[in-house]
């Protein structure tokens, strides 16, 4: 019966810790600041708080004598925070790159049921109907600002491994594509000329693939193409190669069809009118979304996978770090058993002892969190990588180690420190004074 009650007590403690960790993970910085302020006031203004400071001061002053053991906690937690933040920074960077591609005043039209351009087909008769729909803005020449485009995938050798090919997206566009995307600027060379087998390449693709410098020739679809320019878009288009829509369609035998139509709206509020007009037209069976919504959806799947993998790996490493902290703090408590017993014998209660040990462990955890976050920011913030999504060819993006991710890493570090120090702290407070005084 006693063992059963002990088991229930342990299970209840584990469940309480789990709930506490969930709440802690969701706390905003303001709430954490309030908790920290309350702790400081308790330490400074109450008798037990001042006792806690005295006990904690003694423990912290001996950290130099336990440098090797203390570094186990710091380095272990730094590793957890570093891996977690790096994984989340990869997902955030990929998501941000795709979200930057779209806007609320442009819309993209695909064939109904298509989840990406690569598996969409729009017939020629549909293209003019879409361009003339209400809500589409018109340029200075009076024509609708609409770009029928195709997207095909080619294989090119990577600079990181010239023996291995990777997918690169080739986008066939017309003149209106440049009006639709004013952020796309030629930074080297010139634009391609309609009717010629010429390409302009995104700066991201230029960094990733062999043979995309201005003046180089590529063999695509059995034909020679010349790179005549490099453009910068600062979004997912940086990973693409652009060419004349009709020339690309002819080379890849796409006829007069297109895969998508992108239009500029008269205003973001005109989207509902535009979508309703296309949805009610019996000649069309299309899906309509703003380009911001479209690219956000494209990033969701891979971002979710990266986040799940990052949290899973971080959790596994965190468990190891917790055991490292437990071992270190149990050893520290055992070495200071007489000291703690003496303090309790002269009037120090259990609460100051528990809180003092937790403060010591969480201080080490905080150092580990700061170290892990700083190293990750130093190495990975702005680091350029590429990935292969299910609906995209290779997309070049940059890791984003944001303040929010660093804050998440610090909260993980503090949670690990709390769990790692809690059980040794409780043991120190519960250890009978007479027993502790006899320990060497």
The verdict on residue 41 lying in a domain is: no
pLDDT at 122 over 70: yes
Q: Render pLDDT for 341-354 as a digit per residue (tens, 0 to 9).
A: 666 666 667 778 78
Q: Render pLDDT for 253-276 as a digit per residue (tens, 0 to 9).
A: 888 888 999 999 999 999 999 999
End of a domain among 284, 317, 342?
284
pLDDT at 7 over 50: no
The verdict on residue 291 lying in a domain is: no
Name the percent of the chain lying above pLDDT 90: 24
- Mean pLDDT, rounded, for 362-375: 91
End of a domain among 284, 311, 340?
284
Please state, rounded to an integer, the average pLDDT across all residues of the chain.
83
- If one compares 262 and 27, the residue with the highest pLDDT of the two is 262
- Mean pLDDT, rounded, for 184-193: 93
What is the count of structural domains for the chain? 2
Could you give the CA distance from residue 169 to residue 333 in angstroms, rounded to a whole number? Answer: 61
Could you give the CA distance from residue 180 to residue 131 in angstroms, rounded to a whole number? Answer: 13
Phi, psi dihedrals of residue 201, rounded to the nearest 5°: -120, 145
pLDDT at 76 over 80: yes
- Mean pLDDT, rounded, for 188-201: 93
The verdict on residue 306 lying in a domain is: yes
Same domain for 211 and 343:
no
Q: Which of 6-10, 32-36, 76-80 has the lowest mean pLDDT?
A: 6-10
Token pair for 15: 């469940």
The verdict on residue 335 lying in a domain is: yes
- Mean pLDDT, rounded, for 21-40: 83
The verdict on residue 34 lying in a domain is: no
The verdict on residue 384 lying in a domain is: yes
Same domain for 383 and 313:
yes
Query: Given this model, what pLDDT does residue 107 score?
Result: 92
Q: Render pLDDT for 308-367 as a digit per residue (tens, 0 to 9).
A: 888 888 888 888 887 777 777 777 666 666 666 666 666 667 778 788 888 888 888 899
Same domain for 60 and 92:
yes
Same domain for 408 and 350:
yes
Same domain for 275 and 306:
no
Same domain for 404 and 332:
yes
pLDDT at 27 over 70: yes
Same domain for 280 and 137:
yes
Query: Given this model, what pLDDT does residue 41 score?
Result: 92
Same domain for 321 and 427:
yes
Same domain for 218 and 147:
yes
The kind and range of the H/E element at 149 are strand 146-157
Same domain for 392 and 370:
yes
CB atoms inside a 10 Å sphere around CB 286: 22
* CA-based nearest residue to 440, from 314, 322, 337: 337
End of a domain among 236, 254, 284?
284
Helices within 336-349 (DSSP H only): 337-345
pLDDT at 78 over 70: yes
The verdict on residue 365 lying in a domain is: yes
Query: Given this model, what pLDDT does residue 356 score?
Result: 82
Query: Given this model, what pLDDT does residue 59 score?
Result: 76
* CA-based nearest residue to 397, from 234, 188, 181, 240: 234
Q: Which of 57-61, 71-75, 88-92 has the lowest mean pLDDT?
A: 57-61
pLDDT at 150 over 60: yes
pLDDT at 178 over 80: yes
Q: Which of 66-80, 127-141, 223-237 has the lowest mean pLDDT?
A: 66-80
Same domain for 362 and 308:
yes
The verdict on residue 35 lying in a domain is: no
Q: Render pLDDT for 163-172 as a digit per residue (tens, 0 to 9).
A: 777 788 899 9
HSE-up of 335 (CA within 13 Å, CB side)? 12
Rg (CA), the chain: 30
Query: Given this model, what pLDDT does residue 108 score?
Result: 92
- Mean pLDDT, rounded, for 183-192: 93
Question: Is residue 432 helix, strand or coil?
Answer: coil
Domain encompassing residue 237 = 113-284
Same domain for 59 and 141:
no
């Amino acid at each position: 019966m006693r063992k059963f009650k002990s088991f229930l007590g342990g299970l209840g403690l584990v469940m309480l810790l789990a709930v506490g960790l969930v709440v802690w993970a969701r706390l905003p910085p303001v709430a954490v600041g309030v908790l920290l302020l309350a702790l400081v006031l308790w330490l400074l203004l109450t008798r037990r708080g001042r006792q806690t400071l005295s006990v904690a001061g003694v423990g912290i002053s001996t950290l130099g004598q336990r440098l090797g053991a203390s570094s186990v906690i710091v380095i272990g937690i730094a590793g957890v925070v570093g891996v977690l933040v790096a994984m989340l920074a990869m997902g955030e960077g990929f998501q941000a790159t795709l979200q930057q591609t779209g806007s609320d005043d442009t819309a993209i039209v695909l064939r109904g049921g298509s989840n990406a351009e690569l598996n969409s087909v729009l017939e020629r008769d549909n293209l003019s109907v879409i361009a003339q729909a209400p809500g589409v803005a018109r340029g200075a020449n009076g024509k609708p600002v609409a770009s029928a485009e195709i997207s095909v995938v080619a294989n090119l050798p990577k600079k990181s491994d010239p023996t291995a090919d990777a997918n690169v997206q080739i986008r066939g566009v017309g003149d209106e594509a440049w009006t639709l995307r004013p952020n796309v600027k030629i930074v080297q060379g010139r634009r391609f000329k309609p009717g010629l087998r010429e390409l302009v390449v995104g700066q991201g693709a230029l960094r990733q693939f062999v043979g995309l410098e201005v003046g180089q020739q590529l063999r695509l679809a059995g034909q020679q193409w010349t790179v005549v320019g490099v453009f910068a878009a600062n979004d997912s288009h940086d990973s693409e190669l652009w060419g004349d829509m009709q020339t690309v369609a002819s080379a890849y035998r796409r006829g007069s069809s297109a895969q998508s139509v992108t239009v500029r709206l008269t205003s973001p509020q005109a989207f509902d009118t535009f979508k309703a007009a296309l949805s009610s037209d019996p000649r069309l069976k299309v899906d309509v979304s703003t380009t911001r919504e479209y690219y956000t959806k494209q990033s969701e799947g891979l971002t979710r996978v990266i986040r799940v993998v990052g949290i899973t790996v971080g959790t596994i490493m965190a468990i190891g770090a917790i055991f490292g902290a437990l071992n270190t703090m149990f050893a520290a408590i055992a070495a200071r058993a007489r000291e703690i017993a003496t303090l309790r014998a002269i009037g120090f209660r259990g609460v100051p002892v528990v809180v003092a040990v937790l403060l010591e462990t969480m201080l080490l955890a905080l150092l580990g969190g700061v170290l892990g976050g700083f190293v990750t920011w130093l190495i990975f913030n702005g680091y350029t990588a590429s990935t292969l999504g299910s609906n995209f060819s290779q997309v070049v993006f940059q890791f984003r180690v944001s303040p929010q991710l660093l804050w998440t890493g610090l909260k993980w570090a503090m949670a690990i420190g709390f769990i790692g120090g809690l059980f040794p702290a409780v043991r120190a407070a519960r250890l009978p004074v007479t027993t502790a005084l006899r320990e060497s």
